[in-house]
Amino acid sequence: MISIEPVAAPDAPLARRNPVAKVAAALAFSFILLATLDPVAPAIAIALELAVLPLFGIRYRVLARRAWPLLLSAAGILVTLVLFAADRSGRVLLDAGPVLVSTGVLLTALGLVLRVFAVALPGVIVFATTDPTDLADALIQNAKAPARFAIGALAAFRLVPLLGQEWQMISMAR
């Protein structure tokens, strides 16, 4: 069963912060990483994100369980770049007909995969530690968002886990 409650320890120092501040910090941190193409900056960002994870009160296993769709996206990026990358520079590692894998392709794929992880992990961490009602209240009080928007965000935030349960029920019915 999927829980809609935050998974963070309630006494964690960063889990108790204002939800709007956490979302703004995650957006600012992620926005900076969109401009880089090398794999070094996202790797450093991932290391930093994983280092501050205990301050949010989340265990690494819980984060891995919440972020498993990122692994699917990483596999998709790798396959897509191996098959369709235009830049085939570097030493050729595999030449199997139309599939040509080179060190340049793998370096590009590594950079993109790390960037996807580095951009997505702050959002996963923030929303795993945020109560939906607190987020809606903070959107109205601190971000001066319209009440309709905040209520829509609250409804979406609460219904996403239910979508997973419904999907599971449909697959079991088949």
Q: Are residues 44 and 67 in the same domain?
A: yes
pLDDT number for residue 6: 59
**DSSP code, position 162:** H
Give the amino acid at 8.
Answer: A
Based on the domain organization, do 111 and 166 belong to the same domain?
Answer: no
- Domain shared by 73 and 137, yes or no: no
Domain hosting 28: range is 19-130
Q: Does the pTM exceed 0.85?
A: no
What's the pLDDT at 78? 85
Residue 104 and residue 45 in contact, taking contact as beta carbons nearer than 8 Å: no
Is 14 part of a structural domain of the chain? no
pLDDT by residue (tens digit) across 58-107?
888 888 888 888 888 989 988 888 888 777 787 887 777 777 788 888 88
Q: Per-residue confidence of the chain (174 residues) as pLDDT tens digits?
A: 445 555 777 778 887 788 899 989 899 988 888 888 788 999 999 999 999 999 888 888 888 888 888 888 989 988 888 888 777 787 887 777 777 788 888 888 888 899 999 999 998 888 888 888 888 999 899 889 899 999 998 888 888 778 878 888 998 988
Q: Tell me, yes or no, whether 61 and 119 share the same domain.
A: yes
What is the DSSP annotation of 62-123? HHHHHTHHHHHHHHHHHHHHHHH-S---S-EEEEETTEEEEHHHHHHHHHHHHHHHHHHHHH
pLDDT of the residue at 1: 45
155 plus 113 within the same structural domain: no
Same domain? 146 vs 120: no
Instruction: For residue 20, give the 3-state DSSP assignment.
Output: helix
Same domain, 70 and 142: no
Structural domains in the chain (count): 2
Let me know whether 54 and 123 are in one domain.
yes
**Whether 138 and 115 share a structural domain:** no
